[in-house]
Structure 1
Amino acid sequence: MRGVIRSQQLDPTDRRILLALDEDPRAPTMVLAQRLGLARGTVQSRIERMTASGVLRANSTRVDPEGLGRGVLAEVSAELDQSHINEAVAALGGIPEVLECLAPAGDTDLLIRVVATSPDDLYRVSEEIRLCPGIRRTSTRMILRTVIPYRTTALLGADDGGGAAPSSAPPKRRRT
């Protein structure tokens, strides 16, 4: 497993690069360097380091499944036979509609984010998951709407002692 850079190890230059990439993830290195007033080599080496350490994800995570005809989003909770977790995870990795699989604390063994083309297709995907080796029981919840999209920019502005840039959020209003 690759080591992840802790946020305390991200300096202000790293944070500026990440904010710029979040704003325009397809910006060429030279454009980022010019925009940030940095040397191209500095930007390139830092992007490579943050990619290798896991701070930066692949650009494919920005693909909207709805644009690919899979507008139904759901979470499937799975209860496992713990002695077969590796087989279950391997089988889940072979299901194209599985976006990610998480191991949360609590009663759920695995939390699986999936997409489908329709409610009927979601039923098919849920059944495919249920039939994976080691999975005892599943529960599926369809997501009706995303109210706050996946974001990380706010984390870069969080006051964590790492020299974060100030947040661009509007100031909080005080009650009078």
Structure 2
Amino acid sequence: MKKNAPSETLDETDVQILRHLQDDGRLSNAKLAQRVALSETPCWHRLRKLESEGYIQSYQAMLDRRKLGLGELAFISLNFSPHTAEAFASLEKLVEASEEVLTCHRVTGEADFVMTVVAEDLDSVRDFIDTVLRSLPNVATIRTSLSLREVKFSSRLPLPGAR
């Protein structure tokens, strides 16, 4: 089996459960059971199994960042010189503590890390860069791109099987 391949125990009913929960994480067990053609108890057991095996990591609401006053979305690339484990660990610790950082990835290519950051306005983006990111050791360059228009935003993952 591939390293990141779905477990062989994930059958079509499990995939249907995951698909319905991605569409609506607030579905009651009764409604979920009805949609996947199971009685409530077997559905509940499958759901708990999917949670315990880590297929379902958490439940959360999708919020509108603009309605919350977070009008800016920035993509920030960082390069470190020299590359040290301590500098990378400092970044990872900082990212974990920063609510404005939505995603952060160590990447290949021109940058060492790329992160997605939300902020109230351009001044807040600048402040985050100047006071938070520039405090990191060994930061050589910081490049920022601002989102002009959000074309797609989703946390839904493609699931195996028919759509």
TM-score between both structures, scaled by the size of structure 2:
0.81
Q: Any idea what the Cα deviations from partners look like across 1:45-101, whole Å, max 9, x if unmatched?
A: 333333344433433362332232112111111112333211221022222211121
Instruction: Give the structure with the larger helix fraction.
Output: 1
Say whether 1:100 aligns with 2:103: yes
Corresponding pairs, count: 156
Q: Any conservation in 1 of the 2:74–2:118 contact (CA below 8 Å)? A: yes
Q: Report percent identity of matched pairs.
A: 26
Say whether 1:28 aligns with 2:28: yes
TM-score between both structures, scaled by the size of structure 1:
0.76
Shift of 1:142: 0.8
**1:64 counterpart SS class:** coil
Runs of 4+ with >6 A deviation: none
Amino acid at match of 2:148: L
Please give the residue correspondences for 1:1-176 in structure 2 after superposition, counting only pairs within 5 Å. 6-7=5-6, 9=8, 10-60=10-60, 62-80=62-80, 81-84=83-86, 85-127=88-130, 128-152=132-156, 155-156=158-159, 164-165=161-162, 167=163
Amino acid at match of 1:136: A
Aligned CA distance change for structure 1 residues 83 and 36 (closer, same or farther; 3 Å)? closer
Q: Distance in 1 between matches of 2:44 and 2:139?
A: 43
Q: Distance in 2 between matches of 1:137 and 1:52?
A: 41
Amino acid at match of 1:68: L
Is the deviation greater in 23-32 or in 115-124?
23-32
CA RMSD of aligned residues (A): 2.4
Q: Distance in 2 between matches of 1:52 and 1:41?
A: 16
Amino acid at match of 2:18: L
